[in-house]
Amino acid sequence: MLEVFQRKSEIFSYCSRRKSLGKTIGFVPTMGALHTGHLQLVNTALEQNDLAVVSIFVNPTQFNSAGDLLSYPRQFDQDLKMLESLGSDKIVIFNPDVQGMYPDGMNNTGTYDLNGIDSVMEGAHRPGHFQGVATIVHKLFSSVEPHKAYFGEKDFQQLAIIRHITKTLNLPIDIISVPTIREDDGLAKSSRNALLSEEHRAEAHRIYATMTKVKNKFDVQKIDDLIEEAIHDIQGSDNLFKVEYIEIVDENTLRPSANPQSPLRLFAAVWANKVRLIDNISLI
For ligand PAF, the closer of residues 49 and 190 by Cβ is 190
**Nearest Cα to 156, choosing from 260, 240, 254?**
254
Q: Is 31 in the site for ligand PAF (CB under 6 A)?
A: yes
Part in contact with ligand PAF (CB under 6 A); list of ranges 26-34, 73-81, 257-265, 270-278: 26-34
Part in contact with ligand PAF (CB under 6 A); list of ranges 29-37, 94-102, 115-123, 201-209: 29-37
Residue 110: partners with Cβ closer than 8 Å, 6 or more residues away: 128, 131, 132, 135
> Partners of 55 in the beta sheet?
29, 94
Which amino acid belongs to residue 272? A
Instruction: List the catalytic residue out of 38, 147, 164, 200.
Output: 38
Residues 44-83 as x/- pattern, contact with ligand PAF by CB under 6 A: ---------------x--x---------------------
Size of residue set near ligand PAF by CB under 6 A: 10
**Nearest Cα to 125, choosing from 71, 68, 204?**
68
For ligand PAF, the closer of residues 133 and 264 by Cβ is 133
**DSSP 3-state percent helix, strand, coil across the chain (nearest 5):** 45, 20, 35
Q: Is 246 in the site for ligand PAF (CB under 6 A)?
A: no
Least gap, CB of 105 to ligand PAF (angstroms): 18
Residues 86-125 as x/- pattern, contact with ligand PAF by CB under 6 A: ----------------------------------------
- Figure out which of the listed residues 8, 11, 14, 29 binds ligand PAF, where binding follows CB under 6 A: 29
Which SS3 state, helix, strand or coil, does residue 160 take?
A: helix
- Figure out which of the listed residues 11, 26, 30, 52 binds ligand PAF, where binding follows CB under 6 A: 30
Rounded CA separation 255/227 (Å): 16
- Figure out which of the listed residues 83, 117, 137, 187 binds ligand PAF, where binding follows CB under 6 A: 137
Region of residue 127 (left: phi > 0; alpha: psi -120 to 50; beta: else): beta
Q: How far is CA 129 from the centre of its chain?
A: 12
38 is catalytic: yes
Residue 125: partners with Cβ closer than 8 Å, 6 or more residues away: 244, 245, 269
Give the residue numbers marked as catalytic: 38
What is the binding site for ligand PAF (CB under 6 A)? Answer: 29-31, 59, 62, 133, 136-137, 155, 158
